[in-house]
Amino acid sequence: MTSGRILFIDDDRAGREVALFNLRKAGYGVEAASDGAEGLAAFSPEKFDLVITDLKMPGISGIEVLRRIRETTPDIPVLVITAFGNVETAVEAMKEGAHDFIGKPFHRDQLLLAVEKALERQRLTAEVRDLRIRASGVEREIISVSPAMKRVLAMADRVARTDATVLVTGESGTGKEAVARRVHVRSPRAQGPFVAVNCAAIPAELLESELFGHARGAFTGAVRDRLGRFRQASGGTLFLDEIGEMPMSLQAKLLRVLQEKVVDEVGGDKPIPVDVRILVATNRDLLERIREGTFREDLYYRLNVVEIRVPPLRDRPEDIPPLVEHFLKEIGPDRRISVPPRVMEELSARPWPGNVRELKNACERMVILCRGEAVSVEDLPPLPAVARPGEQAGEGFGNDWPPLPPGGLSLVDLEKRVIERALRLKGGNITQAAAYLNVPRHILVYRIEKHGIRRDA
């Protein structure tokens, strides 16, 4: 059985229905459109592997459909249908990037052969691209089983085929750069360079030259021309991490690049065109920085064409076990280290404020300290005995909490307070709170109901 998703655009109803019958009978998933406008409205790169369009249609022509699809998603092949003998139109379509053309009227076998060849060529092209990507070392593997991260990756794959600017947000250590790299390697620019710049790591007085380049003699020490990261990323992707730390003086220049597709190098006398896709990331609240007057509102909306929010690790604890297994194999490839259930429960119950980066560091510690083939709780990093975010001093789970009053206290009240704090620590997640308190989940549920405790206590 063949497979493939096809968008078929033709204003000839009878011919369209015959073609749809033959394609579906051959095993393809097909969606039909009766004109160019309807076809463009129905098209999206995540839904279709191939587009077939008639050239002569009222309103938006097949040539215009071809142009628009090629502009946004050049990796989707387009077959065009043209009247028999109309060579000039077929040649024009091929110049615009059509994969092939089919003369009208066409036979069933002719249609199916053209479709098979187009999809096979797309498959081979994708395989070659993936091999080149792996060889380049650009992509970083993202280990995930949680629905939250699956949604993130699906969104990244959807926007990858376009040239839209993407804003990746999330806490430090969640893997924002890995998501940006995934967008790049699945884009039409995958064979171009991926250039990453951490805006917070470069002094403000050097960042302008680093990004936009400078001409020889532009300032003391500029003994030769410097291209700058925008021009180094030509034909590929420029990833600006920690964009919220960019000085206001450079934000205006970045806005000009996004709008005009040119850079003004330091000391240069004319704008220089650039062909680059921009991806940015931040762990800051940019709207708050706008209110503070440290980030331009017009730049924010220009960058935030599509936002991909990467959830913190505490909101996807089901990702912790596969991440731990992956890191242990990566860090200690010559050792077969296992993680007993009790240790994995402890790992899954921790809040991980440093997210995936902190978890990887913990796994490195476990590999170093583990004396046998199985890690123990003692091999884990100690939990800091400090108040958690949002708690007052003395309300955490440090060694001196709770203080024992001279007149005594109620054990029932103490249990209630411990459960409330565990729920607060775990954001109301009963499963994680039960693992943290080392009790079965159904026991914790019973005690929550018994004491009348709210999950958001």
Cα–Cα distance for residue pair 116/22, rounded to 1 Å? 13
Cα–Cα distance for residue pair 431/436, rounded to 1 Å? 9
Question: Mind giving me the DSSP string for 321-387?
Answer: HHHHHHHHHHH-TT---B--HHHHHHHHHS--TTHHHHHHHHHHHHHHH--SSB--GGGSPPPP-SP
Query: What residues does 307 pair with on adjacent strands?
Result: 167
The pLDDT, as a whole number, for residue 356 is 94
Q: Are 324 and 363 in contact (CB under 8 A)?
A: yes
Q: Using pLDDT thresholds of 50, 70 and 90, give the confidence band for residue 396.
A: very low
Tokens of 95: 């110049």
Q: What sign does the dihedral 386-149-283-237 (CA atoms) show?
A: positive
Sorted by sequence, the CB contacts under 8 Å of residue 9 that are 6+ apart come out as 32, 33, 34, 35, 36, 38, 39, 51, 52, 53, 54, 57, 62, 65
The pLDDT, as a whole number, for residue 386 is 45
Question: Mind giving me the DSSP string for 79-145?
Answer: EEEEETT-HHHHHHHHHTT-SEEEEES--HHHHHHHHHHHHHHHHHHHHHHHHHHHHHT--------
Query: What residues does 237 pair with on adjacent strands?
Result: 194, 277
- Average pLDDT of the chain is 85
**Inter-axis angle of helices 355-369 and 320-331, to 10 degrees?**
50
Task: Please list the alpha-helical segments (H only) found in 138-196.
Answer: 147-160, 176-185
- Measuring CA to CA, which residue among 213, 155, 166 is closest to residue 189? 166
Question: Mind giving me the DSSP string for 257-291?
Answer: HHHHSEE--BT-SS-EE---EEEEEESS-HHHHHH
Check whether 384 has a pLDDT greater than 80. no
Check whether 95 has a pLDDT greater than 70. yes
Residue 89 CA to chain centroid, in angstroms? 40
SS3 308: strand
Let me know how long the chain is. Answer: 457
The pLDDT, as a whole number, for residue 387 is 38
**Inter-axis angle of helices 248-260 and 204-212, to 10 degrees?**
10
The pLDDT, as a whole number, for residue 6 is 93
Domains of the chain: 5-133 (3.40.50.2300), 147-309 (3.40.50.300), 314-379 (1.10.8.60), 395-457 (1.10.10)
The winner for highest mean pLDDT among 77-86, 172-181, 419-428 is: 172-181
The winner for highest mean pLDDT among 25-34, 210-219, 405-414 is: 25-34
The winner for highest mean pLDDT among 221-225, 258-262, 267-271 is: 258-262
- Measuring CA to CA, which residue among 206, 140, 179, 444 is closest to residue 309? 179
Q: What is the mean pLDDT of residues 372-380?
A: 89
The pLDDT, as a whole number, for residue 1 is 44
Q: In what order do the strands lie in the sheet with 237-241?
A: 194-198, 237-241, 277-282, 166-169, 306-309
Question: Mind giving me the DSSP string for 361-376?
Answer: HHHHHHHHH--SSB--
Q: Using pLDDT thresholds of 50, 70 and 90, give the confidence band for residue 446.
A: confident
Q: Using pLDDT thresholds of 50, 70 and 90, give the confidence band for residue 290.
A: very high
DSSP 190: T
Residue 204: count other Cβ atoms within 10 Å of its Cβ.
13
- The residue ranking higher by pLDDT, 50 or 140, is 50
Cα–Cα distance for residue pair 29/13, rounded to 1 Å? 18
Query: What percent of the chain clears pLDDT 70, i.e. is strictly above it?
Result: 88
Query: Tell me: the pLDDT tens digits for 296-347?
Result: 999 999 999 999 999 999 999 999 999 999 999 989 888 888 999 989 998 9
The dihedral formed by the CA atoms of 41, 42, 45 and 49, expressed in degrees to the nearest 10: -140
